[in-house]
Chain A
Amino acid sequence: MGIKLSGLIYTLILFPLFGAVVIFLMPKKRFELFQPLAIFLSIIPFSVCLYLFSNENSKGSYQQFDSINWISSYGIKISLGFSGMSHLLLSLTSILVLLSFLSVTENYSKSKGFIGSILVLHFAVNGVFLSGDLLSLFIFFEAILIPMYFLMGIWGGDNRRYATIKFIIYTVFGSIFIFIGTVYTGVISYSQTGTLALDYVTLSNLNFTSQQSKALFLLFTFGFLVKVPLFPLHTWLPDAHVEAPTAGSILLAGVLLKVGAFGILRVSIPFFTEGFLEYRDIIATLSVIGIIYGAVVAIAQIDIKKLIAYSSISHMGFVMLGISSGNLLSLEGAIIQMVNHGLTSGALFMLVGFVYERRHTRRISDFGGLKITMPKYAAIFLFTSFASIGLPGLNGFVGEFMILMGSFGTYKLLSAISAFGVVLAAIYMLWAYQRMFTGEINNEENENLHDLDTRELVSVIPLLVLMLFIGVYPAFIESYVLNDAQIITNVVELFSGGLN
Chain B
Amino acid sequence: MNTVSQIIGLNWIVIGPTLALVGTALILLFCTITIATSDSVKKVVTISGIFMTLFAIFLKFGLFSTAGPSSYFSEKILLDEFSLFGNVLLGLVLLLNFYPIWNSSFELKDKTTEAIILTLMSTAGFMLMVDSENFMMLFIGLEIGSISLYALAGINKGSLLSNEASLKYFLLGSLASCVLVYGISLMYVSLSITGVYETTIAISFIGIENIPLTTLVGILLLIIGLLFKVAAAPFQSWAPDVYQGSPTGYVGFMAATAKVASFVVLARLCIVSLGLVMDKFELFFSAIIILSILIGSLFATVQTDMKRLIAYSGVIQSGFILSGITSGVNGTSASLFYLAAYIVQLIGIFLIFSVITGELSSDFSMENLSGLFIENKYLSICFSIFMLGLAGLPLTSGFVSKFILITNLWSYEKYILVFALMLSTVAGFYFYLKPIWIAAIDKPENSVPPIQLKLNDKISVGVLAGLTITLGLFPNILINISRWVVQNYL
Contacts and interface: CB of A to CB of B under 8 A. Distances in A.
Chains A and B bind each other = yes
Interface of A: 69-74, 135, 138-140, 142-143, 145-146, 149-150, 153-154, 161, 165, 168-169, 172-173, 176, 179-180, 183-184, 186-187, 190, 196
Interface string B432-459: 0100110011000000000000000000
Interface stretch (B166-174, B229-237, B244-252, B416-424): B416-424
Interface of B: 388, 393-395, 399-400, 403-404, 406-407, 410-411, 418-419, 422-423, 425-426, 429-430, 433, 436-437, 440-441, 475-476, 479-480, 483
Contact of B393 (A69, A146, A176, A186): A146
A142 B388 CA distance: 11
A153 B419 contact: no
> Which applies to chain B's interface (DSSP): helix, strand, loop or mixed?
helix
A153 B418 CA distance: 31
B479 A73 contact: yes
Given A74-B407, A176-B422, 11 more contacts: A71-B476, A72-B480, A73-B479, A73-B480, A139-B395, A146-B388, A172-B429, A173-B426, A180-B419, A183-B407, A183-B410
Nearest to B388: A146
B394 A142 contact: yes
Contact of A187 (B393, B410, B436): B410
Q: Which of A145, A153, A169, A172 has the most chain B CB atoms closer than 10 A to its own CB?
A: A172
Contacts of A187: 407, 410-411
Contacts of B418: 180, 183
A72 B476 contact: yes
Given A150-B440, A176-B423, A187-B411, A139 B429 contact: no
Contacts of B437: 153, 161
10 contacts: A69-B476, A71-B404, A138-B394, A153-B440, A172-B425, A172-B429, A179-B403, A183-B406, A184-B410, A187-B407
A149 B387 CA distance: 14
Given A176-B423, A180-B418, A139 B394 contact: yes
Contacts of A176: 422-423, 425-426
Nearest to A155: B441
A314 to B, nearest CB: 28
Contacts of B440: 150, 153-154
Contacts of A143: 393-395
Sorted nearest first, the 3 A-B pairs with minimum C-beta distance are A139-B394, A153-B441, A176-B422
A150 B388 CA distance: 13
Contacts of B479: 71, 73-74
A353 B412 CA distance: 53
A149 B394 contact: no
Contacts of A179: 403, 406, 422
Given A173-B426, A186-B407, A187-B410, A168 B394 contact: no
A449 B488 CA distance: 77
B433 A149 contact: yes
Contacts of A149: 433, 436
A357 to B, nearest CB: 22
Nearest to B419: A180
Contacts of B419: 180
Nearest to B475: A71
Contact of B426 (A69, A140, A172): A172
A183 B483 CA distance: 19
Nearest to A160: B441
> Which applies to chain A's interface (DSSP): helix, strand, loop or mixed?
helix
A82 to B, nearest CB: 21
Contacts of A139: 394-395, 399
A256 B48 CA distance: 54
A169 B430 contact: yes
A172 B411 CA distance: 23
Given A154-B441, A183-B406, A70 B394 contact: no
A347 to B, nearest CB: 29
Contacts of A168: 429, 433
Contacts of A69: 476
A243 B396 CA distance: 28
Contacts of B394: 138-140, 142-143
A169 B426 contact: yes
A248 to B, nearest CB: 14
Nearest to B480: A73
B390 to A, nearest CB: 14
Contacts of A172: 425-426, 429
A73 B403 CA distance: 14
Contact of A142 (B393, B480, B483): B393
Contacts of A71: 400, 404, 475-476, 479
Given A146-B388, A179-B422, A187-B411, A74 B404 contact: yes
A150 B433 CA distance: 11
Contacts of B429: 168-169, 172
A143 B407 CA distance: 20
Nearest to A176: B422
A183 B334 CA distance: 14
Contact of A180 (B404, B422, B430): B422
A69 B480 CA distance: 13
A69 to B, nearest CB: 8
A183 B393 CA distance: 16
A184 B418 CA distance: 11
Nearest to A168: B429
A184 B408 CA distance: 10
Given A150-B440, A165-B433, A70 B407 contact: no
B333 to A, nearest CB: 9
Q: Which of A74, A135, A186, A190 has the most chain B CB atoms closer than 10 A to its own CB?
A: A74
A161 B479 CA distance: 38
A74 B411 CA distance: 13
A203 to B, nearest CB: 16
Contacts of A184: 410
A72 B480 CA distance: 8
A138 B441 CA distance: 26
Contacts of A74: 404, 407, 479
Nearest to A142: B394
Contacts of A180: 406, 410, 418-419, 422
A70 B393 contact: no
A70 B400 CA distance: 11
A150 B410 contact: no
A156 to B, nearest CB: 9
A190 B433 contact: no
